[in-house]
Structure 1
Amino acid sequence: MKMRNVIALLIILPCLASGALVPVSAADDDADTANQDWHDLHKEVKAGHLVPMTTIMDWLEARFEGQILEVELEQDHGHGSIEYEVEMIGPQGQVVEFEFDATTGELLSIEGVNIEAMKKTP
Protein backbone atom coordinates (compact mmCIF):
# COMPACT_ATOMS: atom_id res chain seq x y z
CA MET A 1 0.00 0.00 0.00
CA LYS A 2 1.38 3.38 -0.97
CA MET A 3 1.50 5.79 1.95
CA ARG A 4 1.64 9.37 0.87
CA ASN A 5 3.17 12.34 2.60
CA VAL A 6 2.01 15.10 0.33
CA ILE A 7 3.01 18.70 0.42
CA ALA A 8 1.12 20.72 -2.16
CA LEU A 9 2.74 23.91 -3.34
CA LEU A 10 0.83 26.21 -5.63
CA ILE A 11 3.05 28.04 -8.09
CA ILE A 12 5.97 28.19 -5.66
CA LEU A 13 9.50 28.35 -6.92
CA PRO A 14 12.62 28.80 -4.81
CA CYS A 15 10.88 28.95 -1.44
CA LEU A 16 11.23 25.21 -0.96
CA ALA A 17 14.99 25.28 -1.29
CA SER A 18 15.40 28.34 0.93
CA GLY A 19 13.07 27.16 3.68
CA ALA A 20 11.24 30.49 3.52
CA LEU A 21 7.87 28.94 2.84
CA VAL A 22 5.35 28.45 5.60
CA PRO A 23 1.90 27.10 4.76
CA VAL A 24 -0.82 29.61 5.48
CA SER A 25 -3.92 27.55 4.77
CA ALA A 26 -3.36 24.75 7.27
CA ALA A 27 -6.05 24.32 9.91
CA ASP A 28 -5.00 25.15 13.47
CA ASP A 29 -4.80 21.47 14.43
CA ASP A 30 -2.61 20.72 11.42
CA ALA A 31 -0.44 23.85 11.57
CA ASP A 32 2.22 22.37 13.85
CA THR A 33 2.44 19.21 11.75
CA ALA A 34 2.63 21.21 8.52
CA ASN A 35 5.37 23.45 9.92
CA GLN A 36 7.31 20.40 11.08
CA ASP A 37 6.95 18.87 7.59
CA TRP A 38 8.42 22.03 6.06
CA HIS A 39 11.31 22.08 8.52
CA ASP A 40 12.04 18.38 7.96
CA LEU A 41 11.93 18.88 4.19
CA HIS A 42 14.29 21.85 4.37
CA LYS A 43 16.71 19.81 6.49
CA GLU A 44 16.65 16.95 3.96
CA VAL A 45 17.42 19.36 1.10
CA LYS A 46 20.13 21.14 3.08
CA ALA A 47 21.74 17.80 4.03
CA GLY A 48 21.84 16.79 0.36
CA HIS A 49 19.36 13.93 0.76
CA LEU A 50 16.83 15.58 -1.57
CA VAL A 51 17.36 17.59 -4.73
CA PRO A 52 16.30 21.24 -4.24
CA MET A 53 13.03 22.05 -5.95
CA THR A 54 14.79 24.89 -7.77
CA THR A 55 16.91 22.30 -9.60
CA ILE A 56 13.76 20.55 -10.84
CA MET A 57 12.16 23.87 -11.80
CA ASP A 58 15.27 24.96 -13.73
CA TRP A 59 15.30 21.65 -15.61
CA LEU A 60 11.63 22.01 -16.56
CA GLU A 61 11.98 25.67 -17.55
CA ALA A 62 14.89 24.83 -19.87
CA ARG A 63 12.92 22.12 -21.69
CA PHE A 64 9.19 22.91 -21.55
CA GLU A 65 6.84 25.85 -22.09
CA GLY A 66 4.22 26.38 -19.42
CA GLN A 67 3.51 27.33 -15.85
CA ILE A 68 3.68 25.18 -12.78
CA LEU A 69 0.32 24.61 -11.16
CA GLU A 70 1.23 22.28 -8.30
CA VAL A 71 4.13 20.39 -6.77
CA GLU A 72 3.75 17.39 -4.50
CA LEU A 73 6.36 15.49 -2.58
CA GLU A 74 5.32 11.85 -2.20
CA GLN A 75 6.98 9.18 -0.13
CA ASP A 76 6.31 5.50 -0.70
CA HIS A 77 7.06 3.96 2.69
CA GLY A 78 6.90 0.44 1.25
CA HIS A 79 9.69 1.09 -1.23
CA GLY A 80 11.40 4.00 0.49
CA SER A 81 11.26 6.13 -2.65
CA ILE A 82 10.55 9.86 -2.57
CA GLU A 83 9.21 11.63 -5.65
CA TYR A 84 8.39 15.15 -6.75
CA GLU A 85 5.24 15.34 -8.87
CA VAL A 86 5.05 18.57 -10.83
CA GLU A 87 1.88 19.55 -12.68
CA MET A 88 2.27 22.11 -15.46
CA ILE A 89 -0.19 23.84 -17.75
CA GLY A 90 1.03 24.33 -21.30
CA PRO A 91 0.47 27.20 -23.74
CA GLN A 92 -2.55 25.43 -25.24
CA GLY A 93 -4.13 24.76 -21.85
CA GLN A 94 -2.91 21.16 -21.66
CA VAL A 95 -2.05 19.80 -18.22
CA VAL A 96 1.01 17.58 -17.93
CA GLU A 97 2.42 15.80 -14.87
CA PHE A 98 6.14 15.16 -14.47
CA GLU A 99 7.49 12.73 -11.87
CA PHE A 100 11.05 13.04 -10.60
CA ASP A 101 13.09 11.00 -8.17
CA ALA A 102 13.52 13.51 -5.34
CA THR A 103 16.83 12.02 -4.23
CA THR A 104 18.54 12.09 -7.66
CA GLY A 105 16.49 14.57 -9.73
CA GLU A 106 16.00 11.93 -12.44
CA LEU A 107 12.87 12.31 -14.58
CA LEU A 108 10.79 9.16 -14.02
CA SER A 109 7.73 9.80 -16.17
CA ILE A 110 5.63 12.33 -18.07
CA GLU A 111 1.86 11.99 -18.42
CA GLY A 112 -0.63 14.22 -20.19
CA VAL A 113 -1.94 15.31 -23.56
CA ASN A 114 -0.11 17.21 -26.29
CA ILE A 115 3.21 17.05 -24.45
CA GLU A 116 5.14 17.61 -27.68
CA ALA A 117 3.61 21.08 -28.03
CA MET A 118 5.16 22.06 -24.69
CA LYS A 119 8.70 21.04 -25.60
CA LYS A 120 11.13 23.86 -26.29
CA THR A 121 13.35 23.55 -29.33
CA PRO A 122 17.07 23.22 -28.52
Structure 2
Amino acid sequence: MAILYARRPLALLLVLAALLPETSALAGRDQDEIRRLHQAKQILALDTIITNHRRQYPGGKLLEAELEFEEGRYVYEIKILGDDGAVREFEYDARSGELWHLKH
Protein backbone atom coordinates (compact mmCIF):
# COMPACT_ATOMS: atom_id res chain seq x y z
CA MET A 1 0.00 0.00 0.00
CA ALA A 2 1.45 3.36 -1.01
CA ILE A 3 2.06 5.99 1.61
CA LEU A 4 0.02 9.05 0.76
CA TYR A 5 1.72 12.41 1.19
CA ALA A 6 0.35 15.93 0.81
CA ARG A 7 -3.18 14.69 0.35
CA ARG A 8 -5.02 17.84 -0.61
CA PRO A 9 -8.46 17.17 -2.02
CA LEU A 10 -9.62 19.72 -4.52
CA ALA A 11 -13.14 19.00 -3.32
CA LEU A 12 -14.22 17.76 -6.69
CA LEU A 13 -17.41 15.82 -6.43
CA LEU A 14 -18.54 16.16 -10.01
CA VAL A 15 -22.02 16.13 -11.35
CA LEU A 16 -21.92 12.72 -12.98
CA ALA A 17 -25.57 12.46 -13.93
CA ALA A 18 -24.67 12.83 -17.60
CA LEU A 19 -22.23 9.93 -17.34
CA LEU A 20 -24.11 7.66 -14.95
CA PRO A 21 -27.73 8.63 -14.30
CA GLU A 22 -27.94 6.66 -11.05
CA THR A 23 -25.14 8.70 -9.49
CA SER A 24 -25.64 12.06 -7.88
CA ALA A 25 -22.84 14.26 -6.63
CA LEU A 26 -22.16 17.92 -5.93
CA ALA A 27 -19.98 20.18 -8.01
CA GLY A 28 -16.85 21.23 -6.15
CA ARG A 29 -15.83 24.77 -5.38
CA ASP A 30 -12.61 24.39 -7.40
CA GLN A 31 -14.18 23.94 -10.82
CA ASP A 32 -12.21 26.86 -12.28
CA GLU A 33 -8.91 25.28 -11.25
CA ILE A 34 -9.97 21.92 -12.67
CA ARG A 35 -11.04 23.53 -15.94
CA ARG A 36 -7.70 25.39 -16.13
CA LEU A 37 -5.73 22.17 -15.49
CA HIS A 38 -7.68 20.34 -18.19
CA GLN A 39 -7.30 23.14 -20.75
CA ALA A 40 -3.55 23.23 -20.01
CA LYS A 41 -3.46 19.46 -20.64
CA GLN A 42 -2.25 18.84 -17.08
CA ILE A 43 -5.13 16.41 -16.45
CA LEU A 44 -7.44 14.26 -18.55
CA ALA A 45 -11.19 14.70 -18.44
CA LEU A 46 -12.95 12.58 -15.84
CA ASP A 47 -15.15 10.97 -18.50
CA THR A 48 -11.98 9.71 -20.22
CA ILE A 49 -10.80 8.13 -16.97
CA ILE A 50 -14.20 6.51 -16.36
CA THR A 51 -14.49 5.22 -19.94
CA ASN A 52 -11.05 3.63 -19.73
CA HIS A 53 -11.85 2.23 -16.28
CA ARG A 54 -15.04 0.60 -17.58
CA ARG A 55 -13.05 -1.14 -20.34
CA GLN A 56 -10.77 -2.74 -17.75
CA TYR A 57 -13.37 -3.26 -15.01
CA PRO A 58 -16.88 -3.61 -16.44
CA GLY A 59 -19.85 -3.56 -14.11
CA GLY A 60 -20.28 -1.92 -10.76
CA LYS A 61 -21.70 1.46 -9.84
CA LEU A 62 -19.77 4.69 -9.57
CA LEU A 63 -20.28 6.13 -6.08
CA GLU A 64 -17.90 9.09 -6.01
CA ALA A 65 -15.11 10.79 -7.93
CA GLU A 66 -12.49 13.22 -6.63
CA LEU A 67 -9.46 14.95 -8.01
CA GLU A 68 -6.68 15.02 -5.43
CA PHE A 69 -3.06 16.12 -5.30
CA GLU A 70 -0.85 13.32 -3.93
CA GLU A 71 2.91 12.88 -3.95
CA GLY A 72 3.39 15.72 -6.41
CA ARG A 73 0.77 14.64 -8.93
CA TYR A 74 -2.93 14.98 -9.59
CA VAL A 75 -4.87 11.78 -9.06
CA TYR A 76 -8.48 10.90 -9.83
CA GLU A 77 -9.89 8.76 -7.06
CA ILE A 78 -13.04 6.91 -8.02
CA LYS A 79 -15.08 4.74 -5.67
CA ILE A 80 -16.91 1.84 -7.26
CA LEU A 81 -19.51 -0.43 -5.69
CA GLY A 82 -18.73 -3.76 -7.30
CA ASP A 83 -21.29 -6.30 -8.39
CA ASP A 84 -20.03 -8.40 -5.47
CA GLY A 85 -21.06 -5.64 -2.99
CA ALA A 86 -17.50 -4.53 -2.18
CA VAL A 87 -16.48 -0.87 -2.43
CA ARG A 88 -13.13 -0.31 -4.09
CA GLU A 89 -11.17 2.90 -4.58
CA PHE A 90 -9.22 3.19 -7.81
CA GLU A 91 -6.65 5.97 -8.12
CA TYR A 92 -5.63 7.02 -11.62
CA ASP A 93 -2.83 9.38 -12.57
CA ALA A 94 -4.85 12.33 -13.86
CA ARG A 95 -2.31 13.22 -16.54
CA SER A 96 -1.59 9.79 -18.05
CA GLY A 97 -4.75 7.91 -17.07
CA GLU A 98 -2.73 4.99 -15.73
CA LEU A 99 -3.94 3.08 -12.68
CA TRP A 100 -1.76 4.27 -9.83
CA HIS A 101 -3.24 2.58 -6.79
CA LEU A 102 -6.14 0.27 -5.88
CA LYS A 103 -7.62 0.14 -2.38
CA HIS A 104 -9.88 -2.77 -1.45
Provide TM-score, normalisation by structure 2: 0.75
2:9 counterpart SS class: coil
User: For 1:1-122, what aligned pairs fall within 5 Å after superposition?
Assistant: 2-9=6-13, 12=16, 23=27, 34=29, 37-64=30-57, 65-76=59-70, 79-112=71-104
Q: Which has the higher helix share?
A: 1
Q: Identity of paired residues, percent?
A: 29
> In 2, are the aligned partners of 1:85 and 1:100 still within 8 Å (CA)?
yes
Q: Which has the higher strand share?
A: 2
Q: What displacement does 1:106 show?
A: 1.1
Distance 2:91 2:64 in 1: 12
- The alignment's C-alpha RMSD in Å is 2.6
Indicate how the Cα distance of structure 1 residues 108 and 12 shifts in structure 2: closer, same or farther if over 3 A, else same. same
The number of aligned residues is: 94
Query: Stretches of 4+ moved more than 4 A in 1?
Result: none
SS in 2 for 1:61: helix
**What stretches of structure 2 of length at least 5 have no aligned partner?**
20-25
Tell whether the 8 Å contact from 2:10 to 2:66 is kept in structure 1 after alignment. Answer: yes
Q: Unaligned stretches of 5+ in structure 1?
A: 16-21, 27-33, 113-122
Instruction: Measure, in 2, the Cα distance between the counterparts of 1:14 and 1:107.
Output: 23
3-state SS, counterpart of residue 58 of structure 1: helix
